[in-house]
A and B are shown apart, each in its own frame.
Chain A
């Protein structure tokens, strides 16, 4: 082995390691890929927010493309996300349904009364059981569910304008076809 090679091989290995670590700087360790993407969305029935006489049944959503946005009044990041949900609701092209996670109706309703309600319907999950079935570990989380009831995408954390335009809108266009 020549002397140059002796130096170059460790250098190359070092650079490969640096490359991997550098890539790691841009990964968010809080984003755990969901095993539920590509699987049927768990079905649930839950009382509707502020109107417990009504029941939201996820099975009624068959043949529709819809977004399930998991949120709560106690969640700060949900408030950051709220304006974009409102903007989405205004376009009338995206059906966003809410799941009010581990919250009380009064507090959730108060937030909606102040900031506006971007949801078609809001189901409540007071004890977090539905959340567990959906693998929710930090609100807000948003699921894109297709006509067959399969989860096609999961957004962990707030939807940003960039994610909306580059990921969610193209996916919805494809699914609605």
Chain B
């Protein structure tokens, strides 16, 4: 039994030892990769960032980003590279353009409308109009 446990632990250990490898040679680049990949979506699991995802594609894409960064590409160029292939969906922050205008400015629009309605209601209150039943 003890032997089995030892063997089991050895196997588990060797598996974990394999995992940690890619923590690579260049800490500056790794930090950049980490920061950037937190802004990017893993397309396989969709609700996970590229930084957190363990999907094989995410690993490939991190490797690809490393490569691009080594070639001296800026963060923006890396993001553009991915957007050209996977679309704006890879970005957690959608860019402001015609199709996303409502997404970006809709809440402010609602705020203005809500403010306007509130203003009207409060004004009515101040005059005391609301006490009287409204005539149809």
Contact = CB atoms under 8 A, between A and B. Distances in A.
Contact of A35 (B57, B64, B87, B136): B87
The A contact surface, by secondary structure, is loop
Interface in B82-129: 83-89
A29 interface: yes
Contacts of B88: 35
A135 B86 CA distance: 5
Contact of A137 (B44, B64, B84): B44
B61 A132 contact: yes
Contacts of A33: 87
Contact of B89 (A3, A32, A132): A32
Contacts of A134: 85
A36 B61 CA distance: 18
B85 A35 contact: yes
B54 interface: no
A102 B55 CA distance: 13
A133 interface: yes
- Contact residues on B (Cβ < 8 Å of other chain), bracket: 10 to 19
- Interface secondary structure of B, over-half rule: helix
B64 A32 contact: no
B57 A36 contact: no
Nearest to B47: A29
Interface string A26-48: 00011011111000000000000
B72 interface: no
A132 B60 contact: yes
A138 B46 CA distance: 12
25 contacts: A2-B134, A3-B134, A3-B136, A29-B46, A32-B86, A32-B89, A34-B86, A35-B83, A35-B88, A36-B84, A102-B56, A127-B60, A128-B56, A128-B60, A129-B64, A132-B60, A132-B61, A132-B64, A134-B85, A135-B85, A135-B86, A137-B43, A137-B57, A138-B43, A138-B44
Interface of A: 2-4, 29-30, 32-36, 102, 127-129, 131-135, 137-138
